[in-house]
Structure 1
């Protein structure tokens, strides 16, 4: 079980180069108005992942901005997939590749995180192990934004403000990091974790 310290710790990049196929190229970040079709897109993606992985998929969750009703977001659905052992790529990688997912990130120092990208429809699939603090954080953040419209709007404003400047998606993420961490701090404090 993840501890409060593990859940509240912000990830710092490890020593490894996480990019399986090279660092991402700059791409325009577009924040779209909330699309009520996103939950159905997630449901279809999750159904396919569960069918392909069977018992290997211990859990599949809709996370990220598209999982928050009313929140503007990049038109990319994020899924967290929990497996018994993320290092056992043979247990899930071939099945995900058969669905069109491409392994883009391997981060042993970050809870053995693996990230796959699906080109159409656009999706990011994150693989973690059981009781992973990052999965807990993702669910908490989604649920916090759903329950707190003021925080959802604060995050939407930060997203819109982070778009100018171009660069990679990682650059965009860095530009909204201070606001994001402020929301996390209030969320963690309210949950009694800080």
Structure 2
């Protein structure tokens, strides 16, 4: 499914505090990232119990050898992510920042079989098994990190073409 390009009006409507200028820090892979995920995943499973049907490490920190922003991304599969009072103290948020300042984590809440969840996992698994695509993705991220962004979401959107290219090689067909 094609997404509309991000513009200032769409971004302002999505963000609680509006756009924030950002510089992206890309660092070499760190073996602590899977351990950080494991700690947070255990906390999430304890907190959410059976509601957490899926807890997976996603994003660049989940791919050994891939340079990344030093923020661990976790996708949590919840049967009804719209029932926010069941798992969130603040309704309306599905992409959450958690963890201590020196161990930041982004939580992405979707239904376990949501297309976004599947896309995250296909990309992660492909990058883990295809060093050429992993290295290409790292090079694009490092190049993009040289710029200052009006908001981090613009950086994420700028990675879209290479992500779609890699997903295509992974056999992903956009629903």
**Which TM bucket (shorter chain)?**
0.7 to 0.9
d(CA) in 1 for partners of 2:73, 2:154: 18
Identify unmatched segments of 5+ residues in structure 2: none
Cα offsets for 1:61-113 (capped at 9, x unmatched):
0000000000000000000001110110011003xx7xxxxx7x74xxxxxxx
**1:122 correspondence with 2:104:** yes
Give the C-alpha shift of residue 117 in structure 1.
0.7
Instruction: Kindly report the root-mean-square deviation, in angstroms, between the aligned alpha carbons of the 2 structures.
Output: 2.2
CA offset digits 1:129-182 (Å, max 9, x no partner): 131011001000000001100000000000001112211211222332222221
Match of 2:85 in 1: 90
Taking structure 2 as the reference length, the TM-score comes to: 0.86
Q: What is the 5 A alignment of 1:1-194?
A: 9-12=1-4, 17-19=13-15, 21-94=16-89, 106=93, 114-120=94-100, 121-167=103-149, 168-188=151-171, 193=173
Q: In structure 2, what is the Cα distance between the partners aligned to 1:72 and 1:134?
A: 22
Contact residue 162 and residue 173 of structure 1 kept, 8 A:
no
Q: 1:134 to 1:18 in 2, by over 3 A?
A: same
Number of aligned residues: 167
Query: Could you state the TM-score of these two structures normalised by the residue count of structure 1?
Result: 0.78
Unaligned runs of 5+ in 1: 1-8, 98-102, 107-113
Change (3 A) 1:79 1:13: farther
Cα 1:10–1:60, aligned 2, differ >3 Å: closer, same or farther? farther
Q: CA deviation at 1:22?
A: 2.0
